[in-house]
Amino acid sequence: MNLTNIPAVLSDIGINEGIASSSFIGREHVDPTPFTPFLLDLHSEVLTTCPPYMSASASSICNLGTRFEQAYCFRFVGSTDLNHRVLVMGLKRQTEPEDVISGYLRATQTYGTAFHFYRLNRVDLRDRRKVPNPNRAQIEEVTQRILPARVDGFEANRLMHRGVPLGHLVLTTCFTKNHP
């Protein structure tokens, strides 16, 4: 699942007014949780409601765009009633940057959460934009290696208007049902 993150209330455009973006969710999917400031409401809703519908061999695969400190992502996946493992860690070009970055800026102003992006023209991953089956130490190592290219949302907004390519980390994570 590649779920939407930004509540439409953080946009200038109403969700039913012809939004030309797949980046926004309606108010009905925004129930305050400890992860609301990280814009993980829809992910939280899906992962907390799916276990009763999962067979013993079922899995749910989520692309978690982590535009915040990795520790919060680890805390989020650990808060579910599901087993989890990261299948791939990747650095992805930010699509719909005008809509997405402005939504994250509003989230920063609303919740005080520090979101960040990466200048793709300054990242040296030595041809490893994707890391298969990374453990936590590998995730932290890659995150540290690309730290010099990291910018906050305000700088990302400025750079986006200058045409600088930006990206964010994605953890493609497999969730499976816990067995008693």
Quick: pLDDT tens for 157-174.
Answer: 999 999 999 999 999 999
Determine the pLDDT at residue 17: 55
Give strand pairing partners of 82: 177
Q: Is the pLDDT of residue 9 over 80?
A: no
What's the rounded Cα separation, in Å, for the pair 83 and 1?
A: 16
Average pLDDT for 138-146 = 90
Question: Predicted confidence band at 150 (pLDDT cuts at 50, 70, 90)?
Answer: very high
Share of the chain above pLDDT 90, in %: 38
Which 3 state secondary structure label does DSSP give 31? coil
Question: Could you give the number of structural domains in the chain?
Answer: 1
What's the rounded Cα separation, in Å, for the pair 151 and 114?
A: 10
Q: Does residue 84 form part of some domain?
A: yes
Q: Does residue 65 form part of some domain?
A: yes
Report the amino acid identity of residue 95.
T
Q: Is the pLDDT of residue 4 over 90?
A: no
Q: Does residue 59 form part of some domain?
A: yes
Taking all residues of the chain, what is their mean pLDDT, rounded to a whole number?
83
Give the start-end residues of each E strand in the chain.
Answer: 6-7, 24-25, 59-66, 82-93, 116-119, 130-132, 150-152, 166-177
Determine the pLDDT at residue 1: 55
Determine the pLDDT at residue 129: 74
Q: Does residue 11 form part of some domain?
A: yes
Q: Does residue 1 form part of some domain?
A: no
134 compared with 31, residue with greater pLDDT: 134
What's the rounded Cα separation, in Å, for the pair 40 and 158?
A: 25
Q: Is the pLDDT of residue 125 over 80?
A: no
2 compared with 144, residue with greater pLDDT: 144
Q: Which domain holds residue 89?
A: 6-177
33: which residues sit within 8 A by CB, 6+ positions away? 40, 41, 44
Determine the pLDDT at residue 10: 54
Share of the chain above pLDDT 70, in %: 79
Report the amino acid identity of residue 34.
P
Q: Is the pLDDT of residue 40 over 90?
A: no
